[in-house]
């Protein structure tokens, strides 16, 4: 590192080191280049959308040391960069993260941010109550506050630790007056309360896949991934219990990954409407009961 001078130098160095170490990517960034760039600009508190305007900027010795230490920590611990800098961006919106929560990434978040839910024929302005089930860091609840501008947002999670992170994010986004957090197993902490719309990105990874996770994914809470032998244990419960918690005309929007044909076979009387995004195909469903 002592021979490096510019941000471009450090970016090239980080990419080489990450490639040689065989790191996995996919926690807010999808490639080695993106993760190296993110680690640099976030550490230096530069705009995260483009590293190029700063590429030839010379770094101070203190900045070089800080970045060098982070690059080595990323390699030796295999923790995602988002955990190292305590920050991730979902569709350009910043969120605090640490090891108490999964690093947020969601096709539902993409759909809300890019206006891809118009086919649902939902009057988002008319909704008065929305539930984000399995909220984790609170990211979808916070994005939902914009998607449903007149709704009271509720967010629930089994993990007390995750809700502590969600509380940080709700406060950072100035939404404590609109988002209420609940701790408990799925719908249990909500009693008989009903909602106009339910959003959920629950754990949906099959046990065999979780057991084979690379270290980056092992660094995240197992309970945020594990959905049983086929991944759908919690999804089945959500589908079964959601009707009791929806107002007339309400709907459930749920992310489940691949394998939707399993759910269609188990719930033949339900009309699953599968949605696509720019990054996914048929991994999110919408249901009216």
User: Is residue 99 included in any domain, yes or no?
Assistant: no
pLDDT score for 50 = 92
Quick check: 177 and 113 in contact, CB under 8 A?
no
User: What's 145's domain CATH number?
Assistant: 3.40.50.150
Q: Are 158 and 206 found together in one domain?
A: yes
User: What's 18's domain CATH number?
Assistant: 1.10.8.10
User: Is residue 30 included in any domain, yes or no?
Assistant: yes
Q: Are 188 and 57 found together in one domain?
A: no
Q: Are 154 and 11 found together in one domain?
A: no
Q: For residues 23 and 141, what is the distance between their CA atoms, to the nearest angstrom?
A: 31
User: Is residue 262 included in any domain, yes or no?
Assistant: yes
The DSSP secondary structure of 219-281, one letter per residue, reads TS-GGGTB--SSS-HHHHHHHHHGGGGEEEEEEEEEE--S-HHHHHHH-TTS--EEEE-SS-E
The answer to whether the Cα torsion of 79, 84, 89, 90 is positive or negative is: positive
Query: Where a domain ends, among 32, 54, 85?
Result: 85
Q: How confident is the model over 238-247, as pLDDT tens digits?
A: 999 999 999 9
What is the span of the domain harbouring residue 19? 7-85
Q: Are 169 and 244 found together in one domain?
A: yes
- The answer, yes or no, to whether residue 107 has pLDDT greater than 80, is yes
Query: Where a domain ends, among 56, 85, 114?
Result: 85
Q: Are 20 and 130 found together in one domain?
A: no
Q: For residues 80 and 249, what is the distance between their CA atoms, to the nearest angstrom?
A: 41
Confidence of residue 115 (pLDDT cuts 50, 70, 90): confident
Q: Taking residues 272-287, report their average pLDDT.
A: 92
Q: Are 110 and 246 found together in one domain?
A: yes
The DSSP bridge pattern shows strands 93-95 and 88-90 to be antiparallel
pLDDT score for 277 = 86
Residue 120: phi and psi, rounded to 5, are -80, -10
Q: Are 65 and 125 found together in one domain?
A: no
Angle value at C-alpha 29, between 24 and 35, nearest 5 degrees: 70
User: Is residue 94 included in any domain, yes or no?
Assistant: no
Query: Where a domain ends, among 53, 85, 117?
Result: 85
- The answer, yes or no, to whether residue 11 has pLDDT greater than 90, is yes
Domain count, the chain: 2
User: Is residue 227 included in any domain, yes or no?
Assistant: yes
> Rounded mean pLDDT of the chain?
95
Greatest pairwise CA separation for the chain in angstroms = 66
Residues, the chain:
289
Q: Are 174 and 266 found together in one domain?
A: yes
Confidence of residue 280 (pLDDT cuts 50, 70, 90): confident
User: Is residue 91 included in any domain, yes or no?
Assistant: no
Q: Are 80 and 113 found together in one domain?
A: no
Q: Are 114 and 76 found together in one domain?
A: no
User: Is residue 144 included in any domain, yes or no?
Assistant: yes
Q: Are 112 and 75 found together in one domain?
A: no
Q: Are 152 and 236 found together in one domain?
A: yes
Confidence of residue 91 (pLDDT cuts 50, 70, 90): confident
Q: How many CB atoms sit inside 10 A of residue 259's CB?
A: 16
Q: For residues 88 and 95, what is the distance between their CA atoms, to the nearest angstrom?
A: 5
Cβ partners under 8 Å of residue 147, min gap 6: 112, 117, 124
Q: How confident is the model over 180-233, as pLDDT tens digits?
A: 999 999 999 999 999 999 999 999 999 999 999 999 999 999 999 999 999 999
User: Is residue 184 included in any domain, yes or no?
Assistant: yes
In whole angstroms, how far apart are CA 2 and each of 37, 101, 211, 263? 19, 35, 40, 56
Quick check: 196 and 151 in contact, CB under 8 A?
yes
């Amino acid at each position: 590192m002592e021979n490096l001078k510019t941000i471009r130098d450090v970016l090239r160095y980080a990419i080489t080191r990450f490639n040689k170490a065989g790191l996995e990517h996919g926690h807010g960034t999808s490639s080695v280049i993106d993760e190296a760039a993110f680690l640099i600009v976030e550490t230096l508190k530069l705009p995260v959308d483009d590293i190029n305007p700063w590429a030839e900027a010379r770094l101070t010795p203190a900045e070089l040391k800080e970045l060098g230490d982070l690059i080595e920590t990323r390699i030796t611990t295999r923790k995602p960069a988002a955990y190292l800098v305590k920050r991730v961006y979902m569709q350009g919106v910043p969120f605090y993260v640490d090891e108490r929560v999964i690093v947020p990434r969601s096709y539902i978040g993409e759909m809300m941010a890019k206006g891809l839910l118009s086919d649902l024929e939902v009057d988002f302005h008319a909704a008065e109550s929305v539930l984000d089930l399995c909220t984790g860091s609170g990211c979808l609840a916070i994005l939902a506050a914009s998607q449903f501008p007149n709704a009271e947002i509720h967010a629930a999670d089994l993990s007390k630790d995750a809700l502590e992170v969600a509380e940080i994010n709700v406060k950072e986004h100035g939404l404590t007056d609109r988002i209420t957090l609940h701790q408990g197993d799925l719908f249990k902490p909500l009693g008989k309360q009903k909602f106009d719309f339910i959003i959920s990105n629950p754990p949906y990874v099959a046990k065999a896949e979780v057991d084979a996770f690379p270290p980056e994914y092992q660094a995240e809470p197992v309970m945020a991934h594990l959905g049983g032998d086929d991944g759908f244990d919690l999804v089945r419960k959500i589908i079964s219990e959601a009707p009791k918690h929806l107002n007339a005309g309400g709907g459930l929007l749920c992310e489940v990954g691949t394998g939707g044909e399993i759910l269609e076979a188990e719930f033949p009387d339900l009309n699953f409407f599968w949605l696509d995004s720019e990054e996914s195909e048929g991994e999110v469903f919408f249901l009216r009961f």
